[in-house]
Amino acid sequence: MAKKNFKELFDPKESKWGGISLPMFLAALVVVAIVVYVPFGLDKEGNPGSFLRPNFLIMFSALAVFGLLFGEIGDRIPIWNDFIGGGTILVFFMAAVFGTYGLVPENFMKAVNIFYGKQPVNFLEMFIPALIVGSVLTVDRKTLIKSISGYIPLIIIGVIGASAGGILVGLIFGKAPMDIMMNYVLPIMGGGTGAGAVPMSEIWSAKTGRPAGEWFGFAISILSIANVFAIICGALLKRVGEAKPSLTGNGELIIDNSKEAIRDKEVEVKPELTDTTAAFILTGVLFMVSHILGEVWSGFAKSHNIDFELHRLVFLILLTMFLNIANVVPDRLKAGAKRMQTFFSKHTIWILMAAVGFTTDVKEIKAAAAFSNILIALAIVLGAVGLIMLVARKMKFYPVEAAITAGLCMANRGGAGDVAVLGAADRMDLMSFAQISSRIGGAMMLVLGSLMFGAFLK
């Protein structure tokens, strides 16, 4: 594939702005700018209104134009594209700057919050399930079975590496090992914000009798720093794989030298639009069942005083794994699921990265940006990556993919962090394993946190 360049991007005869020509893209950019920035009339509260209608189509298109603007440029900046993550990361950072420093109106920010992560839209709950179902259904059954017994131990190894790295650097700055474990390792490796830091802060509060915000404020800051390192490391691991092909499976996590495994079976079947539609409907139905199971588990956990919960995405992974292992899904439907996955992972990633960026506060990262904290967070991320890469091949995993999924996807901000890390590493097909890390791995860390807070806090 020819390398992208700026000349083609600004040639009006080319269509390099996501398939749109330069004149058409500029026209779209002007329309979006008018809708977002030009005041018009009054809203229901009597405040200045705008042309913005915060429905799915409008927000999808507005974020797409923003994503294309910085994404196409980022993919053509030499050093940035080669080492930092290209357009995907530039979209994320520019959106974060726009959101944090008020460069877009408040009504647009509210609409982004709903589009990205709140009901009734919550695009993230469409994006991640589509990737999970598409990737898990199209993994070879025998390969999938082999991964179950080996991947959870790989996550545990990553946590051990993260703990060792954090403690070693923490000792240099006079911090006690238990301080590092409870205030650095737990929030960073805990499965993100909503499913990790938030419930963990409640566990901390229950054990200490103090407000949860005391622990959460620092936890979210140190997690934000580690999340940035995880994204950058994802991009660097992509380069490592390119420089050392023996370390990567080019998107495949599991080393499988057997002749019995049939890889990419879905490419033998060309899906029709009906197959893709059916796969999308199947994804929705499975997500409904997963939500039911998640709610039932939540009630069970509360009634039995269990200090962690199983997220609905955990049940979605398990259900999809069961369907694949049981071999009850027709090949045409699997092919449709793969097509659905490709659409979301390849063609809507900049839209989601823009939404994630707008909802990311740059000030959170600055809040905990003491030199010692930065080095400790970096040591935790590198400790997880390093130890996993050392043992991965012996456990029948490719080192680069193992470090990305079992390491970096434990050390980021959950679902949104998984998207950013996998996007930077160009490994979006590994979303199912990333979700195992964030959800199941995060649940394991909640258990560990409960035990540690109970044993070492008074």
Q: Say yes or no to pLDDT of 414 above 80.
A: no
23: preceding bond cis by omega (within 30 degrees): no
- pLDDT tops 50 at residue 48: yes
Q: What is the pLDDT of residue 83?
A: 60
Q: Read off the pLDDT of residues 187-226 as tens digits, 9 standing for 90 and up.
A: 999 877 666 777 788 778 877 878 776 788 788 778 888 9
Q: Among 259, 298, 273, 253, which residue's Cα sits nearest to residue 404? A: 253
Query: In the predicted model, what is the mean pLDDT of residues 387-404?
Result: 95
Could you tell me what percent of the chain has a pLDDT over 70? 93
Distances (CA, A) of 67 to 75, 121, 350: 12, 19, 5
In whole angstroms, what is the distance from residue 105 CA to residue 93 CA?
18
Q: Is the pLDDT assigned to residue 20 strictly greater than 70?
A: yes
Strand partners, 39: 50
Task: Using the structure block, give the residue that is written with the tokens 């919050």.
Answer: 113
What pLDDT was estimated at residue 118? 76
Average pLDDT over residues 99-103: 93
Which position has the higher pLDDT, 446 or 248?
248
Among the ranges 68-82, 197-211, 232-246, 267-281, which has the highest mean pLDDT value? 232-246
DSSP three-state, residue 68: helix
Checking if the pLDDT of 358 tops 80, the result is yes
The mean pLDDT value for 391-419 works out to 91
Q: Is 87 or 365 the better-scoring residue by pLDDT?
A: 87
pLDDT for 263 equals 44
pLDDT of 364 strictly over 90: no
Residue 259's alpha-carbon distances to 142, 143, 178, 227, in angstroms, are 11, 12, 48, 39
Question: In this structure, are residues 298 and 309 in contact, taking their beta carbons and an 8 Å threshold?
Answer: yes
- What's the whole-number mean pLDDT along residues 79-108? 86
Side-chain-side CA neighbours of residue 68 (13 Å): 22
Q: How confident is the model at residue 72 (pLDDT cuts 50, 70, 90)?
A: very high
CA distance 381 to 369: 16
Helices (H), 123-272: 124-137, 141-172, 177-180, 186-188, 198-208, 212-243
Residue 210: its pLDDT value, please?
81
How far apart (Å, rounded) are the C-alpha atoms in residues 317 and 315?
A: 5
Q: What is the structure's pLDDT at 267? A: 43
Of 67, 365, 396, nearest in space to 232 by CA: 365
| Model confidence pLDDT, tens digit, residues 236-249 | 999 999 999 999 99
Residue type, 74: G
Residue 93 pLDDT exceeds 90 = no
Digit-coded pLDDT (tens) for 117-149:
777 888 888 988 898 888 888 777 776 776 677
Quick check: 458 pLDDT over 70?
A: no
Residues above pLDDT 90, as percent of the chain: 49
The pLDDT value recorded for residue 271 is 86
pLDDT at 45 over 60: yes
Average pLDDT for 265-275: 73
Kind plus residue range of the DSSP H or E element containing 293: helix 273-303
Name, of 47-61, 161-175, 191-205, the range with top average pLDDT: 161-175
d(CA 1, CA 361): 36
Q: What is the pLDDT of residue 308?
A: 59
pLDDT of 61 higher than 60: yes
Q: Are 396 and 255 in contact (CB under 8 A)?
A: yes
- Closest C-alpha among 245, 12, 1, 282 to residue 130: 282
Indicate if the pLDDT at residue 297 is higher than 90: no
Q: Cβ neighbours of residue 344 under 8 Å, at least 6 residues apart?
A: 126, 127, 130, 131, 134
Residue 454 has pLDDT above 50, yes or no: yes
Model confidence at 370: pLDDT above 90 = no
pLDDT at 265: 44
Tell me: pLDDT of 1 over 70: no
Q: What is the rounded distance in angstroms from the CA atom of residue 70 to the CA atom of residue 80?
A: 12
Average pLDDT for the chain: 86
